Amino acid sequence: MSSKSKLALCGGAPVRKKPFPSWPIFGQPERRNLLNVFDSAHWWYGAKVKEFEEKYAAFQNARFGVSCTNGTAALEIGLLACKVGAGQEVIVPPYSFIATASAVLKVNAIPVFADIELDTCNLDPRDVERKITSKTKAIVPVHFGGLPADMDAFKKLARKYKLKIIEDACHSWGTKWKGKGTGALGDCGGFSFQMSKNITSGEGGILLSDSETVAETARSYSNCGRGKGKTFYEHFLPGSNLRLTELQAAILLGQLERLESQTNKRDRNGAFLDHGLRGIPGIGLMRRDPRMTRRSYHVYIFRFISNEWPGVSREQFIKALNAEGIPCSGGYPIPLYKNPMFRMRQGRGPGFCPISCPFYGKKVDYRHVVCPNTEIICKEACWIFHPMLLAEKNDMQDIINAMSKVRENWKALKNV
């Protein structure tokens, strides 16, 4: 066996040695905007914040944008603005960052976990409907990895059962469903600008909505409970200080200048990977819904289908791919409901039982929750992160070649 066909993990030559693009990408636009704000001495919640809110909302085809400290805060003020509260249930996926569920707890409501689809990693509308009760107030679909959830199905459920939809759009800057950006497809939607995200100011977030009432209520919750056009020391809601700064907005305006071209490039490269990886045994691709007119790709996800790699674990596969020069991760190792904060018995740990429990009338015990598809995905998902999709076609071909090489030599992994 030649060194080129031998796995790098077993002493062969790796497919690739040069690095993929690093993150974040920044330059003159951010520097110019930051210096302008710095020299102005107006650093607090002013013109740049307003400019970014308007431009980002327009980018996502939404009417209103309310900036805030992070994506978690965006979800919280979105839930509050939709009047979700004590004793009510909110259906969420268990395959997501903890904030999708913890935001529900923060507004004193009860997260109810519905399963995901294996070929999208998004909430399954059929299981969501099975979990709806008389106490259900809202659904929080996550556009996981930038792949939009089936918003037609969720809006149909919302109309049927009189529910609110708060999108967790924290992976979907630039994603479009039937030509309209995510975030205002439902009642509102939250985005994150944390350091790893496709548009970043280190931290930051925004809530989008087409409803002026929802937007202004969210604004009040994020701005100490103040009212629009009211005096500074009048407070109408029990809000908090969740405001974005002018310096963060300056950075985000610079980042926004590149987002269109970066989103399109990631989308093209994701489609190239789909085409090249399709047909490799043991690799399962995500389904591309024709109603999705653009995808942002925070992560490119595929499945390591365990039963087609007998005797080889996902971790061995990822280790082999990394050795070939292709960074890859297994993502979330457990469903949200298996996190310690959800596994403690009622009353035995601070924060386990939300304040709403006395108003709920039912026991809260997540130890018995099982979402089979989520359990599978946590064992089989493989993530390739978004900066890699800003490379060129020949770099995407390296990913395809490395995957093919690992598959061709998969039996050698049994002994590694």
Active site residues: 97, 168, 171, 194, 197, 226, 233, 243
DSSP summary character for residue 123: B
For residue 298, give the 3-state DSSP assignment: coil
- Residue type at position 204: G
- Phi, psi dihedral angles at 175 (to 5 degrees): -70, 140
Q: Six-digit token pair at 37?
A: 């704000």
- Alpha-carbon distances, residue 386 vs 150, 192, 193, 288 (angstroms): 22, 15, 14, 17
- Alpha-carbon distances, residue 329 vs 222, 311, 314, 318, 339 (angstroms): 35, 20, 10, 7, 19
Q: Six-digit token pair at 82?
A: 């939709």
Would you say the C-alpha torsion 76, 80, 83, 87 has a positive or negative sign?
positive
H-assigned helices in 119-174: 125-131, 151-161
Contact 216, 16 (CB under 8 A): no
Q: Six-digit token pair at 12?
A: 């062969």
- Alpha-carbon distances, residue 405 vs 320, 381, 411 (angstroms): 10, 19, 12
d(CA 344, CA 321): 37
d(CA 14, CA 178): 41
